[in-house]
Amino acid sequence: MIKDLYKIVIIFFCIIFFYCCDSFKRFGQEKYNCQENELSIYQINIIKTNSVKKAYLINNDGEFSIQIKSIENDETILSFRDFTISINKIKKLITVSNDKKIHFLNCQNETFNM
């Protein structure tokens, strides 16, 4: 009986540990496929590993590397040319802004973690 209780406690703590611990994630990708918009942004890719964070934007002119300003649990801020791209993960809202105008993009999110 004590062995069974011991096994249950160990299994319980292992499940809690793996469920709560995000440090085992070696690779993550967030892909945002956008509907047609006036900026012609088709896709935004964010790739995260333990040591590298990269972001790419695909539009009519091709694929471009974009600068990551910040990555948080609820929001990611990117920069491309004179535009700031804000991805609010809670509201599922993507805004692209410059000094003159704010654009709202309608994008579908695909997330992959390993």
**Which residues make beta-bridge pairs with 83?**
80
**Which residues make beta-bridge pairs with 43?**
33, 58
Contacts of 101 (CB under 8 A, 6+ apart): none
pLDDT at 32: 95
Residue closest to 88 by CA, chosen among 65, 113, 105, 67: 105
pTM over the 0.85 mark: no
pLDDT at 84: 96
Tokens of 87: 């991805």
pLDDT at 20: 61
pLDDT tens string 81-99 = 999 999 999 998 999 998 8
With bands split at pLDDT 50, 70 and 90, how would you rate the model's confidence at 1? low
Asked if residue 100 lies in contact with residue 13, where contact means CB atoms within 8 angstroms, the answer is: no
pLDDT at 111: 85
pLDDT at 17: 65
What does the DSSP 8-state code read for residue 82? T
Distance CA 56, CA 46 (A): 7
pLDDT at 15: 74
Q: Which helix (H) or strand (E) holds 28?
A: strand 27-34
pLDDT tens string 3-58 = 777 777 788 776 776 666 555 567 788 999 999 999 999 999 999 888 889 999 99
